[in-house]
């Protein structure tokens, strides 16, 4: 089956683009959410620092009076606040902060007087929430009320003690660290009417144009405010997202690798499918040829009286034998490939004398060849032995000799050298004077069904199984094979076998 590689590649590409687009949108949304969280954390830190600073002063003032520092003094501070236009018309909350001293005891009283018109709109809207006798305030109204009360207390306390900007900065810094956004900040206290600075922790060398500006009005009359400068929150936000960014990056790498591996498998599967198809067509032709030739020779002997003449009879019988040998060789290669794929393949290891194995194999290949073949065998030292499977080792040498003869010219010279290397292993090299192999083909010649391109000459194409079988069996016997070759200068196949351990 021919795989539709282009549609599959396009589908994979669009899938990757869709995944990356969704991932980018999600990361951007997380960034915006974290940015908003950082802004909220800064606002909360400013308000909380102001709250703690003013109440710290109130607590310090109370301790001062309690210790007797103000026992001869008597005074009170009154302040009022209103919030929300609707509430302003119906309710005035008056708070009195007073100190009295009768017997060296100090009492602080916070009185809240409510003067409201009966049956007002505000009261009618909230009576169902807190009952007929309660004051109905929703969450946002209570928040605004608390803020107004804090401003009123600020105004009262500022008349007694000055604001501690250092304490304000310290509390704010602590809150920002606790919120996960430890960004650098500077503060100023300004008069809103003319922007004059009362106090500042901002160094003169700092360029405020690169900082983000925040304002917090702290008095009830809107005359004074904190001005806070913070560095941009981008780095802090990215630091908060570092885990998400790393995991997203790793996930995208995994997805890219998975899709890349999928495409690679599809391409290899397509290539393997094409090689199998070529192999089937080639082996079919190769099987039909010897059968047809042997059939024709036997038909001539039986029906055309060619057997009556001894020379003709011997000639046709020789043709039949050669073609049957060729057919047997093809079947043997196919069976060897099938045997190699079995997981239960058992090797029958035995001690083999290399010269005794080589001699009949060389004679068989010279008899089969239709060319002038010269085989030179060298063994150093004499009497080399190896422990291997005799049948498979013989098939390995036969395949290498067959290729050397097949891919050479009409005058074939093959040199076989058996020797030992420095580690004591047996090295068998088969050198020919053939057409050679290109560097690109050398990377694939041991793959199943791969054939080195040799033009349109059919007899030299091979079946793509011989060298694959050789490499696989050698691997099972703990051996190895490699090739050295240049186009037009022949090839040398080097087989390494373990020497007998004795």
pLDDT score of 195: 78
Domain boundary among 238, 263, 284: 238
Question: Which CATH number covers residue 452?
Answer: 3.30.565.10
The pLDDT value recorded for residue 377 is 92
Does some domain include residue 406?
yes
pLDDT score for 33: 92
One domain, residues 351 and 230: no
**Could you report the per-residue pLDDT of 252-264, keeping only the tens digit for each?**
899 888 888 888 8
Note whether residue 469 is domain-resident.
yes
The helix (run of H) or strand (run of E) holding residue 79 is strand 75-81
222 against 20, higher pLDDT:
20
Residue 80 lies in a domain: yes
CA distances from 294 to 288, 309, 312, 317 (A): 10, 19, 14, 9
- Reported as a single tens digit per residue, the pLDDT across 42-100 is 988 998 888 888 888 888 877 776 766 544 444 444 444 444 433 333 333 333 334 44
Is the model's pLDDT at 197 over the cut of 80?
Answer: yes
Question: Is 244 inside a domain boundary?
Answer: no
pLDDT value at 236 more than 80: yes
Residue owning tokens 């050295």: 484
**pLDDT above 90 covers what percent of the chain?**
11
Structure token digits, residue 199: 């106090």
The CA distances from residue 313 to 62, 294, 319, 370, in Å, are 135, 13, 10, 20
- The model's pTM is 0.46
Judged by DSSP in three states, 346 sits in: coil
CB atoms within 10 A of CB 473: 24
Query: For residues 146 and 81, which has the higher predicted lDDT (pLDDT)?
Result: 146
CB 481 within 8 A of CB 474: yes
* CA distance to 94, 430, 449, 452, 472, per residue, from 269 (Å): 86, 33, 13, 19, 20
| Domain boundary, last residue among 210, 238, 266 | 238
In the predicted model, is pLDDT for residue 5 greater than 80? no
Is 261 or 501 the better-scoring residue by pLDDT?
A: 261
223 within domain boundaries = yes
Residues 225 and 365 occupy one common structural domain: no
pLDDT of 346 strictly over 60:
yes
What CA–CA distance (Å, rounded) separates 475 from 486? 25
Which residue range is the domain that position 190 belongs to?
26-238
Q: Measuring CA to CA, which residue among 249, 248, 221 is closest to residue 80?
A: 221
Does residue 328 lie within any of the structural domains?
Answer: no
Q: Where does a domain end: 238, 266, 297?
A: 238
Q: What is the pLDDT of residues 395-413, one digit of tens each?
A: 889 889 988 988 888 889 9
pLDDT confidence bin for 330, thresholds 50/70/90: confident
Is the per-residue pLDDT at 429 higher than 90? yes
Mean pLDDT in residue range 119-144: 47
Residue 303 covered by a domain: no
Other C-beta atoms closer than 10 Å to the C-beta of 489 total 12
φ/ψ of 162, rounded to 5, equals -85, 155
- Average pLDDT across the chain, whole number: 76
Number of domains in the chain: 2
- End-to-end, the C-alpha distance of the chain in Å comes to 53
**Residue given tokens 């009576």 in the structure block:** 127
Pairing of strands 224-230, 411-420: unpaired
Work out the average pLDDT over 254-280: 80
Both 223 and 370 in a single domain? no
Whether the CB-CB separation of 172 and 46 falls below 8 Å is answered with yes
Is 493 a residue whose pLDDT tops 90? Answer: yes
Does residue 181 fall inside a structural domain? yes
């Amino acid at each position: 089956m021919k795989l539709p590689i282009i549609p599959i590649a396009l589908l994979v590409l669009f899938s990757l683009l869709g995944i990356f687009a969704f991932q980018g949108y999600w990361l951007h949304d997380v960034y915006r959410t974290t940015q908003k969280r950082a802004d909220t954390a800064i606002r909360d830190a400013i308000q909380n620092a102001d709250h703690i600073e003013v109440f710290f002063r109130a607590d310090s003032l109370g301790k001062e009076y309690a210790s007797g520092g103000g026992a001869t003094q008597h005074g009170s501070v009154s302040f009022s606040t209103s919030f929300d236009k609707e509430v302003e018309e119906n309710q005035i909350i008056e708070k009195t902060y007073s100190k009295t001293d009768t017997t060296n005891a100090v009492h602080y009283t916070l009185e809240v007087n409510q003067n409201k018109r009966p049956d007002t709109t505000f009261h009618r809207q909230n009576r169902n929430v807190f009952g007929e006798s309660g004051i109905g305030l929703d969450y946002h109204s209570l928040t605004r009320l608390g803020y107004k009360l804090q401003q009123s207390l600020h105004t009262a306390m500022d008349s007694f003690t000055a604001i501690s900007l250092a304490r304000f900065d310290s509390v704010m810094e602590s809150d920002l660290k606790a919120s996960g956004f430890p960004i650098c900040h500077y503060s100023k206290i300004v008069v809103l009417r003319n922007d004059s600075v009362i106090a500042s922790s901002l160094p003169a060398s700092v360029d405020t144009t690169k900082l983000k500006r925040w304002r917090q009005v702290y008095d009830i009359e809107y005359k004074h405010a904190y001005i806070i400068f913070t560095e941009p929150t981008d780095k802090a936000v990215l630091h908060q997202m570092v885990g998400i960014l790393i995991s997203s990056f790793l996930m995208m790498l995994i997805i890219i690798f998975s899709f890349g591996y999928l495409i690679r498998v599809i391409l290899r599967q397509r290539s393997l499918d094409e090689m199998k198809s070529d192999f089937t067509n080639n082996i079919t032709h190769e099987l039909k040829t010897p059968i047809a030739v042997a059939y024709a020779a036997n038909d001539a002997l039986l029906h055309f009286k060619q057997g009556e003449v001894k020379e003709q009879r011997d000639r046709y019988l020789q043709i039949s034998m050669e073609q049957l040998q060729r057919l047997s060789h093809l079947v043997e290669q196919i069976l060897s490939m099938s045997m190699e794929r079995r997981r239960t393949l058992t090797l029958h290891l035995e001690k083999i004398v290399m010269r005794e194995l080589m001699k009949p194999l060389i004679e068989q290949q010279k008899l089969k060849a239709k060319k002038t073949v010269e085989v030179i065998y060298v063994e150093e030292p004499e009497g080399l032995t190896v422990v291997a499977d005799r049948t498979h080792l013989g098939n390995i040498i036969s395949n290498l000799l067959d290729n050397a003869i097949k891919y050479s010219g009409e005058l074939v010279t093959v040199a076989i050298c058996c020797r030992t290397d420095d580690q004591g292993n047996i090295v068998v090299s088969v050198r020919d004077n053939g057409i050679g192999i290109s560097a690109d083909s050398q990377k694939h010649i041991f793959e199943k069904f791969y054939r080195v391109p040799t033009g349109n000459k059919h007899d030299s194409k091979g079946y793509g199984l011989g060298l694959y079988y050789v490499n696989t069996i050698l691997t099972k016997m703990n051996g190895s094979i490699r090739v050295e070759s240049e186009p037009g200068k022949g090839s040398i196949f080097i087989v390494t076998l373990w020497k007998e351990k004795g």
